[in-house]
Amino acid sequence: MKILLALALPFAVVAALLAAPANAAQGLRLQYKNSSTTPTTAQAEPWFQLLNDGTSAVPLAQVKIRYYLTGTETYRFACSWAVVGCSTVTGTFGNGYLEVGFTPGTLAPGGNTRDLQLRFHRADWQSFDQSDDYSFGVQTGYADWEKAAVYVNGQLAWGRPPGGGEPTPTPTPTDPPTGSAGVLFDDFSYTGSGDPRLAQRGWTVRSSSGGPGVPGATWSPAAVTFPGGVLQLESSTDGTGAGTVQTELSTANRKFFEGTYAARVRFSDAPVTGPDGEHVVQTFFTITPLRQNMDPDYGELDFEYLPNGGWGEPANILYATSWETYQADPWQAVNTHTEERTSFSGWHDLVVQVSGGRVKYYVDGRLFADHGGVYYPETPMWIMFNQWFIDLQGGSARRAYQQQVDWVYHTKNEVVSPAGVLSRVNALRAAGTAFQDTVS
């Protein structure tokens, strides 16, 4: 009977039936309402709920919702509230759209995400006209909405995108090289902080004054050394600001944005000389300059280890912190952090993946933190290592702490797993490569 039915239908209809994928993506349906319907607004507020009318569960990590915009403004995304949890909802801006995604989860047959209360605004908080956005609607109650699109694994599952455009695939981990836009690698084989190759290769050893850290402290190039082919930062204090030495090595150029960052870092709990107990911070991070208080283009992605606590913490703690912005006086910070209160003394492989609206931090191959939303960086950054003191605990005996770095690696616009990073670094070293920088 099935064969006879097929023969009775026009060939084009049969072909369409055979070509149509019989999967749960066919059952997805998007509903939309607007919580900010005025044409001119300081903040657009598209709310969605995604329904699965199919017979199979849909992994939410495979789903992308696109809300289409006009104009070339720089926007910031936020999730106000979501039944599935804002921590599972991502938002990134592409060329003419807001793309909403999800971290792992499943939408069961007959399921509904319920409210996804989303919003976005211009980076400078100026009002804008949203009435000419393709996906804009004025309904204040949920209704099916085909002017926003739903994709599953890159295939259109719902809606009518403007011009029928297809989405740009979200990067996934690619351990073998796949044509990265550039790689930075350095195994720190230098003679000292005065080695001219440091500047030639784009590194700056800090000597300027200022924060972070203890007022009056100096940043000493002489305390930045390279024993046995590792970067060593030795920071010390005699209990006074004037007698405090802090250390920092930074890339000279702000050319690092999306991609994978990695370093092999040795944290230490105890000083190499003198009594213990100082609130010292040992770091690997990326950062942009703060041009003004609450600069909307500021970004900072930190690994910070406090072997003796600090900032109200009584003992050792490792932070992964992603920053949107801040102001120093009076202090106001817009950031999110994940922490573990245990000793991390010793060597650790630290990896940060920056892609698709998410910042993922790994320690020794283990996912340590996953941040997104407004905390995703907007502009290119420097790569830095530094060691500094939050405050001083008194006493006059000099005490010195050391942080070491075996190597640093970055691949631009490429998501590489922690195991893939180690494989690439080992291959570079096996080939005798001490330094490489093809990042533009």
In DSSP notation, 73-98 reads: --EEEEEEEETT-GGGEEEEEETTEE
Q: What is the mean pLDDT of residues 298-312?
A: 97
Report pLDDT digits (tens) over 10-65.
Answer: 323 333 332 333 344 458 999 999 999 999 999 999 999 999 998 889 999 889 99
Report pLDDT digits (tens) over 228-266.
Answer: 999 999 999 999 999 999 999 999 999 999 999 999 999
Q: Is the pLDDT of residue 268 over 70?
A: yes
- For 73: left if phi > 0, alpha if psi spans -120 to 50, otherwise beta; the answer is beta
Q: Is the pLDDT of residue 3 over 50?
A: no
pTM above 0.75, yes or no: no
Average pLDDT of the chain to the nearest whole number: 89
Q: pLDDT-based confidence at 123, cuts 50/70/90?
A: confident
Report pLDDT digits (tens) over 346-373.
Answer: 999 999 999 999 999 999 999 999 998 8
Report the C-alpha gap between 94 and 116 in whole angstroms.
20
Q: Is the pLDDT of residue 291 over 70?
A: yes
CA-CA distances (angstroms) from residue 213 to 239, 289, 307, 405? 13, 17, 16, 21
Report the C-alpha gap between 301 and 288 in whole angstroms.
10
Q: What is the mean pLDDT of residues 295-314?
A: 96
Q: pLDDT-based confidence at 5, cuts 50/70/90?
A: very low
The C-alpha angle 348, 311, 283, rounded to 5 degrees, equals 30
What is the per-residue pLDDT for 22? 33
What is the per-residue pLDDT for 92? 86
Among 72-76, 361-365, 417-421, the range scoring the smallest mean pLDDT is 72-76
In DSSP notation, 169-194 reads: PPP----S----S-EEEE----S-TT
Residue with tokens 């999730």: 79
Q: Is the pLDDT of residue 128 over 70?
A: yes
What is the per-residue pLDDT for 21? 34
Q: pLDDT-based confidence at 165, cuts 50/70/90?
A: low
